[in-house]
Chain A
Amino acid sequence: MEYPDNGAYMVAAYIVTAVVVLCYSVWLRYRVRKDR
């Protein structure tokens, strides 16, 4: 079956989500450890 060729947008969105979530997780962890 023919689909629109827009897989790059999908990959970009999944990468952006992973980066934001991981960066926030690490930043949160870092601040907790710094202020303990």
Chain B
Amino acid sequence: MTRRESALATARRGWILTTVALVGLVGVYVRALAFTPVERVQGPAQKIFYIHAPAAWAALLAFLVTGGLSLVYLWLRDRKLDTIAASSAEVGVAFGVVMLTTGPIWGKPIWGTWWSWDARLTSTLFVFLLFIGYLVLRGAIVDPEMRARYSAVLGILALVLVPFIHMTVYLFRTLHPEPIVMKPSTPSLPGVMLTTLLSSMLVFTVLYIGFLMQRYALSILRDVREEEAERGVS
């Protein structure tokens, strides 16, 4: 099987996984909006939680994968690792957009403000902008070796910030609530709400994997095309 055929097969599998996740997302919408009770204090706006938290999970997972693979890339110098890291960064930015738009939409009715420059929100925005910078940097460097090395360093710097984002609610006074699932003790959420949240997290994780496979395949297809063009010139 050629690289092109292999990439197309990966893209096809990624597309199938994405389609399954999109159907799952419809299921999450139905479950969250129609079959999950309204929270007494916050009202219907609390249901934003079922998409905001999973989107944040998927974004930070994507950034962790980018940072982790960047670290391994500098060690092994395997081009494949750099390609997956870059693909994960782009997918992470897409989920980051969901995280950073649904957060303020939830914050306005509950906190009375769209945004607060506290540690949690500011550090999350900072990491998001760092990954935008990561993608811009990659677009600006032509030499693949140099591009991979420079962006790996940026990816590792961002990796350090991801655990910091998680800890900000413990380290600083912030409007953002503490985690209710990803914490050492048992989740403090009624069973029906927890099931909705976990279903949504599963769907967003599958969506991330589907997107990542397609984006990775796209990078390989572009590499193959560039190699063919170079061979054609020489």
List residues of A whose CB falls within 8 A of some B CB. Answer: 1, 3-7, 9-10, 12-14, 16-18, 20-22, 24-25, 28-29, 31-32, 35-36
* B45 CB contacts on chain A under 8 angstroms: 4, 6-7, 9-10
Is there contact, CB below 8 Å, between A14 and B40?
Answer: no
Given the interface pairs A20-B97, A21-B207, A32-B218, the reply to whether A4 lies near B22 with Cβ below 8 Å is no
Which of B4, B45, B55 is most buried by chain A, counting CB atoms within 10 A of its CB? B45
| B18 CB contacts on chain A under 8 angstroms | 25, 28
- Cβ contacts B79-113/A at 8 Å (1 or 0 each): 00000000000000010011001100110111000
- Complex Cα distance, B26 from A34, in Å, reads 28
Contacts of B51 in A (CB 8 A): 13-14, 17
A6 surroundings in chain B (CB, below 8 A) = 42-45, 109-110
For A24, the chain B residues whose CB sits under 8 A away are 94, 211
B201 at the interface (CB under 8 A from A): no
Q: Which of B25, B109, B207, B217 contacts A32 (CB 8 A)?
A: B217
Contact B44 A10 (CB under 8 A): yes
Residues of B bordering A, CB below 8 Å: 4, 8, 11, 15, 18, 22, 25, 29, 33, 38, 40, 42-45, 47-48, 51-52, 55, 94, 97-98, 101-102, 105-106, 108-110, 207, 211, 214-215, 217-218, 221-222, 225
Q: How far is the CA of A30 from the CA of B150 in the complex (A)?
A: 29
The distance in angstroms between the C-alpha atoms of A14 and B101, with both chains bound, is 10
- List residues of chain B with CB within 8 A of the CB of A20: 94, 97-98, 101
A13, A25, A35: the one within 8 Å of B221 (CB): A35
What are 14 inter-chain pairs, A to B, with CB distance below 8 A? A3-B40, A4-B45, A6-B42, A6-B43, A6-B45, A7-B44, A10-B45, A13-B52, A13-B105, A14-B48, A17-B98, A21-B22, A21-B94, A32-B15
Using A9-B45, A24-B94, A31-B218 as known contacts, say yes or no to A17 and B22 having CB atoms under 8 A apart. Answer: no
**Complex: A17 Cα to B212 Cα, angstroms:** 18
Whether A4 and B105, one on each chain, are in contact in the complex, defined by CB atoms closer than 8 angstroms, is: no
A residues near B44, Cβ cutoff 8 Å = 3-4, 6-7, 9-10
The answer for the CA separation of A10 and B32 in the assembled complex, in Å, is: 11
